[in-house]
Amino acid sequence: KLLFNVLCIFPERLVVTGEDRPVFAYAGQEVVLSCSVDSHVLPEQVTWNKHDSGRESVLVLLFEDNNTWPDSSHERYQGRAELFPAEIHKGNFSLRLKDVRTEDKGKYVCQVHTSYRSANTTAELQLWVNYGNITRPMILIIVYHVGDKDSLFSIPDIVLNLFTRICCSYNVNLFPLPQVRVSGS
């Protein structure tokens, strides 16, 4: 009988789920980061935090005592972060982030606390780079060889095809990655 009472006091589990894949957005767009809690569990507190590498986490949004407290958010997120109030009773604590900025890119953690347990899920926000009307940058490399096959400066096509290696690098963390096209004459 004692064991039964303990199980009634301490729920057997707290399951928090989110998205397995990164979420992508352009700067200026709105994005939703998923966080769902078992609907039979009423959290006392849900926090959304942004984790910057090498820095302390930043509070994006706080839900506590059945209320969302936007004034407690870090100044970078005030007026831009919110939950879906009509979905909270279903266990949906997904974060809507408006007017996405480049500094919003990174890892977010939805931490859920009940009286006896806590659990979390992680979401990753990646930004598409906007290049005006170009959605993917392109690097064009043109390979030329001079002369004809009898010329001293000519490189036979078979050698060019088998042994030419062209390396291209860039020092900017771009997403999506550039396309590379190689053409010869």
- Please check whether residues 176 and 145 belong to one and the same domain: yes
Residue 120 above 60 pLDDT? yes
- Please check whether residues 118 and 166 belong to one and the same domain: no
What is the average pLDDT across 114-122?
90
- Please check whether residues 144 and 124 belong to one and the same domain: no
Instruction: Answer yes or no: is 98 within a domain.
Output: yes
CA distance 90 to 88: 5
pLDDT band at residue 152 under the 50/70/90 scheme: very low
Q: How far is CA 30 from the centre of its chain?
A: 13
- Please check whether residues 157 and 113 belong to one and the same domain: no
- Please check whether residues 91 and 166 belong to one and the same domain: no
- Please check whether residues 74 and 151 belong to one and the same domain: no
Residues near 105 by Cβ (< 8 Å), separated by ≥ 6? 125, 126, 127
Instruction: Answer yes or no: is 20 within a domain.
Output: yes
Counting residues of the chain whose pLDDT is more than 70, the rounded percentage is: 63
What is the average pLDDT across 132-156?
50
- Please check whether residues 87 and 20 belong to one and the same domain: yes
Residue 1 above 50 pLDDT? no
- Please check whether residues 62 and 91 belong to one and the same domain: yes
Residue 109 or 68, more confident: 109
Instruction: Answer yes or no: is 30 within a domain.
Output: yes
Report how many domains make up the chain: 2
CA distance 73 to 75: 6
pLDDT band at residue 174 under the 50/70/90 scheme: low
Instruction: Answer yes or no: is 4 within a domain.
Output: no
Q: Which of 104, 128, 152 is the last residue of a domain?
A: 128
Residue 129 or 21, more confident: 21
Instruction: Answer yes or no: is 2 within a domain.
Output: no
CA distance 131 to 137: 7
pLDDT in tens, 13-72: 788 999 889 999 988 999 999 999 986 778 999 999 999 777 789 999 999 988 889 888
- Please check whether residues 101 and 19 belong to one and the same domain: yes
Residue 179 above 90 pLDDT? no
Q: Which CATH number does the domain housing residue 59 bear?
A: 2.60.40.10
Residue 127 or 32, more confident: 32
Tokens of 72: 């407690």
Q: Give pLDDT, residue 128.
A: 83
Q: Give pLDDT, residue 30.
A: 95
Domain range spanning residue 23? 11-128
Instruction: Answer yes or no: is 43 within a domain.
Output: yes
Instruction: Answer yes or no: is 5 within a domain.
Output: no
User: pTM for the full model?
Assistant: 0.66
- Please check whether residues 30 and 105 belong to one and the same domain: yes
Residue 98 or 54, more confident: 98
What is the average pLDDT across 2-8?
44
Q: Give pLDDT, residue 68.
A: 87
- Please check whether residues 72 and 162 belong to one and the same domain: no
- Please check whether residues 96 and 171 belong to one and the same domain: no
